[in-house]
């Protein structure tokens, strides 16, 4: 009986942790992350060509996100090489944390913070009456960023992934506040656009498309953050939560670039004669209406009333 127990114990040490929820999930996440970084690069290229008139600070944000994501992608690629090639066959090493994990962890809260602050600013300028909501989301984004950085810095003191259990509360606060911030930004923006519906078909169609787009892009990173909370608390022995976080970083950057580049496609075909009351809705939709009033000669009006032709040209910003 003692010999049988000793054999099972030795077998467990030899096999080490399961590969499907450790190295396997990390490998899949890095492949997905690389694909998302490729999509981000394409979006950045389109942005540089299409929106040359954007302010310098916005261009700096785009450049910063691309650089951060690029460094992060290099880091996670080196990390998977370290675990799968450099320590090939060393199954026990899969339980150990690496300095690359910590460095990548420090980079991961940055894109979320930058994107959330940008969307908070958009929320404030969209409807300044919602400044308490904007202030709330700004506070949430700062808390999320601080907790994310603190939990990542503490990983330098860990030698094994299981030691992060004492760090659970930091990670949970980080991800929960991150998800709540995304939701708190998305709902007021969608509601403001919804209440801006005027009853004019063209404007309402545009606003409906904007609402669906904003809800979809806001819900995706929020859902991934909640997924990471669940996997971190329930499956702490695995590396699924790290894999989810690797993908989450790229989702935030792609969300912002998609939102910026969407300005060109949503307004396509919007030039034309629209009703004057569309102004408020267009402004809320992120479009600057420029009204050009052209008075027709009074003699051409059979009823003796002066006609005014209103032409609306939309400008993206």
- Given its phi and psi angles, is residue 57 left (phi above 0), alpha (psi -120 to 50 degrees) or beta? alpha
On the question of pLDDT at 82 being above 90, the answer is no
What token pair was written down for 167?
């760090």
pLDDT tens column, 40-80: 999 999 999 999 899 999 999 999 999 999 999 999 999 88
pLDDT tens column, 221-255: 888 888 888 887 777 767 787 888 889 899 999 99
On the question of pLDDT at 289 being above 70, the answer is no
pTM value is 0.74
On the question of pLDDT at 179 being above 80, the answer is yes
Confidence of residue 161 (pLDDT cuts 50, 70, 90): low
Percent of the chain with pLDDT over 90: 27
On the question of pLDDT at 128 being above 90, the answer is no
Domain definitions of the chain by residue range: 16-266, 278-316
On the question of pLDDT at 315 being above 60, the answer is no
CA angle 228, 90, 26 (to 5 degrees): 25
What token pair was written down for 195?
């209440």
Looking at residue 34, its pLDDT comes to: 94
133-137, 151-155, 177-181: the lowest-pLDDT one: 151-155
Looking at residue 115, its pLDDT comes to: 94
CATH class of 16-266: mainly alpha
Q: Best-predicted range by mean pLDDT among 61-70, 82-91, 294-303?
A: 61-70
Q: Which residue has the higher pLDDT, 28 or 308?
A: 28
Looking at residue 201, its pLDDT comes to: 72
On the question of pLDDT at 7 being above 90, the answer is no
Mean pLDDT of 78-88: 81
DSSP notation for 40-78: HHHHHHHHHHH-TTS-HHHHHHHHHHHHHHHHHHHHHHH
């Amino acid at each position: 009986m003692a010999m049988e127990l000793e054999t099972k114990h030795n077998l467990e040490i030899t096999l080490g942790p399961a590969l499907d929820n450790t190295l396997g999930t990390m490998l899949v996440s890095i492949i997905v992350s690389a694909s998302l970084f490729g999509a981000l690069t394409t979006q950045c290229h389109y942005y540089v060509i299409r929106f040359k008139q954007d302010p310098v600070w916005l261009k700096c944000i785009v450049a910063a996100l691309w650089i951060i994501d690029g460094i992060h992608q290099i880091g996670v690629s080196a990390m998977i090489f370290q675990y799968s090639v450099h320590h090939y066959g060393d199954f026990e090493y899969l339980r150990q944390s690496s300095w690359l994990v910590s460095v990548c962890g420090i980079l991961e809260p940055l894109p979320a913070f930058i994107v959330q602050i940008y969307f908070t600013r958009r929320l404030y300028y969209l409807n300044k009456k919602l400044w308490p909501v904007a202030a709330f989301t700004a506070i949430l984004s700062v808390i999320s960023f601080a907790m994310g950085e603190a939990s990542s810095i503490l990983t330098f003191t860990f030698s094994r992934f299981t030691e992060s259990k004492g760090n659970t509360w930091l990670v949970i606060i980080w991800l929960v506040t991150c998800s709540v911030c995304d939701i708190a930004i998305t709902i007021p923006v969608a509601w403001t656009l919804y209440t801006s519906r005027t009853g004019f078909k063209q404007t309402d169609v545009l606003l409906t498309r904007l609402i669906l787009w904003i809800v979809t892009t806001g819900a995706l990173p929020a859902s991934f953050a909640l997924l990471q909370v669940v996997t971190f608390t329930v499956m702490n022995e695995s590396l699924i939560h790290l894999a989810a976080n690797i993908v989450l970083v790229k989702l935030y950057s792609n969300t912002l670039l998609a939102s910026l580049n969407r300005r060109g496609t949503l307004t396509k075909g919007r030039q034309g004669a629209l009703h004057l009351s569309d102004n408020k809705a267009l402004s809320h939709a992120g479009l600057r209406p420029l009204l050009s009033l052209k008075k027709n000669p009074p003699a051409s009006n059979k009823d003796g009333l002066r006609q005014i032709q209103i032409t609306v040209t939309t400008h993206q910003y």
